[in-house]
A and B are shown apart, each in its own frame.
Chain A
Amino acid sequence: MPKNESSAMKYLRGIAKNAKGDFAVVAPENLRKAVQKLKDNGMYRLICITGVDTGTAVDAIYTLSFDGTMFNLKVPLNHKKPEVESISDLLPAASLYELELMEMLGVKVLNHPMPEKRMFLPEDWKQGPPLRKAFIQKLAGGQK
């Protein structure tokens, strides 16, 4: 894992041009800088933002594409209180996927343009984020 910002950018550029579907771990505070640097190098397409609850952290995986070559930035967030900054001013499509992060995994996305919007869950849903491990394990009883 590279230590300072400029070697991180060299690392990202290196894997983006050669590797298809590779994953690079990026700390949450470096995320916006990484996306900005990639935009300056000609990347404009965000494919998806996936949230994964691994048990020890909540990973937000940003899948970006250089017109066909996909690569992923994995951002590990705090498990108890996951927080990440929105990148929807850099890539407008991010606002849709960050809604899923907020609703289904309980991640707090700072500076999101529509923070109150409920897209998938009903208004009176009170059982917590449905894609967290605790919720899924409750569902799993008897469904194997």
Chain B
Amino acid sequence: MIEKEYSYFLPIGPQHPALKESMHLTFKMEAEEIKDMDFNVGYVHRGIEGGMMTRSYDKSLYLAQRICGICNQIHASAYCLAVERLVPTFQVPKRAEYIRTVLNELERIHSHMLFVGVAAHEFGFDTVFMYTWRDRELIMQLKEKITGNRVTNDMNCVGGMRRDIPKELEKELEDAVEYFSERADYYVRVFTKDISVQKRTKGIGVLSKKDARRLNAVGPTARSSGIDYDIRSADPYEVYKYIKFKPVILEDGDVFARVASRILEVKQACDVIRQCLPLPEGKLKEVFPRNVPPAEAVASVEAPRGELFYYAKSNGTNIPERIKVRTPTYANFLALKQFTVGYKLADIPLLVASIDPCLSCTDRVTVVDEKSTRVLTHADLQDIAKEEYR
């Protein structure tokens, strides 16, 4: 009978098999139970906000799209929304709004399929991981047909869209959303009927409604704890002003609710795309002034992980004065700290994965070589790589 209590600090990260991206978590443990958690991010800091302050609005849009790989389209949409609001009389054409919404919802479907696969892998169900990523492949190929690229598509421009969706692809979109609605039903059945999945996820990592409210959790993390906060219905933008939309709210607040709410959101995204088709005729973009008059604007959109917030400030030139990005994963860290306490060491990978962390969104710092004043060229980097990774 062990009577002494074992108390220690367990560092996880920045590189760890349980984590998909680099972050540093320190768990204060007593035997197998988690007592407290501390977090440190900043390993993927690239200097995007600083970079946006020295580049024109069009070039900063390219930077905004490359903040994150999984939610790149939504970052570009949010940036365009914030910058377009700097000129209050500016109106984006309707066809552009519809195309933006269709692409955002496709992004949401693929992101949630990715998450369901990763969550299944974390609790040991690798077959579901393979199935969900195989289904996700259909969306990636559809995105490549529509936009030309699987990930970073650069379809948005400030003022509308750069390229169009041809009429022939609308039929393929319809077929794809029918298929995905059925697959979402299938995955709901898999998760609710399988006993080992239920044992691994029900009652684990419970975030109460009171805590979710107090700590300002966002996205499916908050909506699966009963908080009714979805920007698409609370403050509608783009096409959500015109269509019927109801957020997915679950009450339990455990890991199972967080996974299930994302599968149900896949079904909801299919419904939104169905309501957007056929796309209305019209112009693709309006001309946005090159030198934006001094103003300030804020914009909030619903990314797959939660509420994404952009703040833009202009100063009369074609270079933004300040662009600030607040991503949903950063906002959910306090909630993560709250709901890991009291659970076991073996649950850590699943608990951390259940907020669907996207660290590339979270760190946006700059690159400065501080040890020397040498500027590295592309050729230098290639030489260093050949040396180090031989």
Chain A residues with CB under 8 Å of chain B are 20-21, 23, 44-48, 50, 52-54, 61, 63, 67-70, 72, 91-93, 95-97, 117-122, 124-127, 130-131, 135-136, 139-140, 143-144
Contacts and interface: CB of A to CB of B under 8 A. Distances in A.
A127 B369 CA distance: 11
B300 A119 contact: no
Given A119-B41, A139-B54, A130 B365 contact: yes
A143 to B, nearest CB: 5
A144 B52 CA distance: 11
A46 B235 contact: no
Nearest to B363: A120
Contacts of A63: 298, 309, 311
Q: Which of A23, A54, A93 has the most C-beta atoms of chain B within 10 angstroms of its own C-beta?
A: A93
B216 A127 contact: no
B215 interface: yes
Contacts of A92: 214-216, 334
Interface stretch (B65-73, B181-189, B324-332): B324-332
19 contacts: A21-B299, A47-B300, A47-B307, A48-B324, A52-B322, A63-B298, A67-B228, A70-B300, A72-B296, A93-B215, A97-B326, A118-B42, A119-B42, A120-B365, A126-B370, A130-B50, A131-B53, A143-B55, A144-B56
Interface in B329-366: 330-331, 333-334, 363, 365-366
Contacts of B235: 20, 68-70
Which 3 A-B residue pairs are closest in the complex by CB-CB distance?
A68-B234, A48-B326, A93-B216
Task: Pick from B297, B324, B330 the residue with the most CB of A within 10 Å.
Answer: B324
Nearest to B333: A96
Contacts of A67: 228-229, 234
Interface string B26-64: 000000000000001110010101100111100000000
